[in-house]
């Protein structure tokens, strides 16, 4: 997907998350005004990067951005989450990126490229 198209889609997502995020009712919670829209936008950006980019390492970055956005949501929504569980969540995201990094290392060594689009040998062949 081209860069100018990606930027346009990004702007559209920003407008969309501002419009939607400001309307979400959160009764009884005192929050900064822009917390929910920015969390939403970050998560959407991550998802867009995972879907729209080919390189495996950029997809891993997209996963990180998405996880960041969701964690920001968690800041807004889940104040009753115990610290230990929160730490577990962060540890998992950390290890996920670690494991993805190792896998990308293997992909690079095996194929001499990290283009996830070209990982397409597995499919349902007709009999």
Partner 1 sequence: MILLLVGLPAAAALAAFFLRPNEPRRLLLLGTALAHTACVAWSWVRPDLFAALGDWIALDSLGRLFLGITSVLFLVVSFYAVGFLRREGGGRSSDPEEGFLFDNTPEALFTACLLGFLATMTLVTVSTHFGLLWVAIEATTLVSAPLIHYHRHHRSLEATWKYLLLCSVGIAVALLGTYFVAAAVPRGSGGSLTFRALAQRASLLDVRWLKAGFLLLLVGYGTKMGLAPLHAWLPDAHSEAPPVVSALLSGALLNCAFLAILRILSVCTAAGLGAFSRQTILVFGLVSMAVAAGLIIGQADFKRLLAYSSVEHMGILAVGIGLGGTGDWGSLFHAVNHSLTKAALFLLAGNLLAAYGSKKTADVRGALRRTPFTAVLWTAGFFAILGAPPFGAFSSELAILMAAVHSGSWAVVVLYSLFLAAIFAGMVGVLARMAQGGAHGARTAGAHSAALVPAGARREGALAVAPPLVLLCLTLALGLFVPGFLARSLQQAMALLGV
Return the structure tokens found at 59: 């997809």
Q: How far is the CB of 4 from partner 1 (least distance, A)?
A: 26
- Residue 36 to residue 26: CA distance in whole angstroms: 10
DSSP SS3 for 92: helix
Judged by the rule CB under 8 A, the positions of this chain that interact with partner 1 are 26-29, 43, 47, 50, 56, 59-60, 63, 66-67, 70, 73-74, 77-82, 85-86, 88-89, 91-92, 95-96, 99-100, 103, 106-107, 110-111, 116, 119-122, 124-127
Nearest to partner 1 of 2, 110 (CB atom): 110
């Amino acid at each position: 997907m081209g860069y100018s198209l990606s930027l346009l889609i990004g702007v559209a997502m920003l407008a969309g998350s501002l419009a939607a995020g400001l309307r979400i009712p959160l009764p009884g919670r005192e929050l900064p005004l822009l917390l929910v829209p920015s969390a939403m936008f970050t998560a959407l950006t991550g998802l867009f990067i995972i879907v729209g980019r080919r390189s495996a390492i950029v997809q891993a970055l997209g996963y990180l951005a998405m996880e960041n956005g969701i964690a920001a949501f968690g800041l807004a929504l889940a104040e009753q989450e115990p610290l230990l569980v929160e730490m577990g969540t962060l540890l998992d995201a950390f290890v996920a990126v670690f494991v993805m990094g190792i896998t990308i290392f293997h992909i690079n060594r095996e194929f001499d490229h990290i283009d996830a689009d070209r990982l397409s040998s597995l499919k349902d062949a007709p009999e």
